[in-house]
Amino acid sequence: MSLDGTYDSANIFAKILRGEAPCAKVWEDDHVLAFMDVFPQSRGHTLVIPKGSTARNLLEETPERLAALMVRVQKVAQAVRAALNPDGVVITQFNGAPAGQTVFHLHVHIIPRWADQPLGRHGGGQMADMAELQDLAARISARIE
Ligand code: AMP
């Protein structure tokens, strides 16, 4: 899906937001939901998505919702750092399939990095163990301020 197109409310993140699909939830408020990526590029890979939005990507989001999202991305990234003590954190976001986007509901990746560990492949690799994701989600959630 290129940058052109319309929002598909059957996308997996919309289903997660409606409670129709499971997730390892880290945190939520009125504006966003944060949960663990099931194909993590590193241990602790977390996604933050806006609620009440039909933006497929950053270019389509309203300035107000985008500002609310990014402030909360910082908050969750700080909790990831506090919980997992990484050496660095990648914050990334893809717009359109040619750019690497695979789920077409706006989302931001928080990917903790350790100096001695390679980054996993984006949009591939092995599905994580749900129990392990739930444990990581609980650890990160406990550090949300
Ligand atoms: P992107 O490729 O930027 O659109 O990112 C989509 C991300 O969603 C990828 O990193 C996938 O691993 C992740 N993903 C896909 N399905 C799920 C799911 N059901 N729960 C959590 N993460 C998912």
pLDDT tens per residue, range 88-119: 999 999 999 999 999 999 999 999 999 999 99
- Domain membership of residue 5 (yes or no) is no
Q: For the whole model, what pTM was predicted?
A: 0.98
Tell me what pLDDT residue 2 has: 83
Containing domain of residue 85, as a range? Answer: 12-141
Say which CATH number the domain at 50 has. Answer: 3.30.428.10
Strand partners, 27: 34
Alpha carbon of 142 to ligand 1 centroid (Å): 23
Residue 1 has pLDDT above 80, yes or no: no
Residue 3 resides in a domain: no
CA distance 76 to 64: 19
Does some domain include residue 90?
A: yes
pLDDT at residue 4 tops 90: no
Query: Which of 16, 18, 25, 47, when mutated, tests ligand 1's pocket best, judged by the most ligand atoms within 8 Å of its CB?
Result: 47
Whether 114 maps to a domain, the answer reads yes
Query: Which of 38, 42, 57, 90 has most ligand 1 atoms within 8 Å of CB, for mutation?
Result: 38
Provide the annotated active-site residues: 107
- What does residue 26 show for φ and ψ, rounded to 5 degrees? -95, -50
Q: Per the domain annotation, does 7 fall within a domain?
A: no
Whether 4 is in a domain gets the answer no
- Which ligand 1 atom minimizes the distance to the CA of 45? 10
84 belongs to a structural domain: yes
Q: Is residue 47 part of a domain?
A: yes
pLDDT greater than 90 at residue 124: no
Per-residue pLDDT tens over the stretch 32-87? 999 999 999 999 999 999 999 999 999 999 999 999 999 999 999 999 999 999 99
Non-local (6+) Cβ contacts of 19 within 8 A are none
Instruction: Give the position of tokens 């059957």.
Output: 10
DSSP state of 20: S
Number of structural domains found in the chain: 1
Contacts of 48 (CB under 8 A, 6+ apart): 32, 33, 34, 69, 72, 73, 76, 107, 108, 110
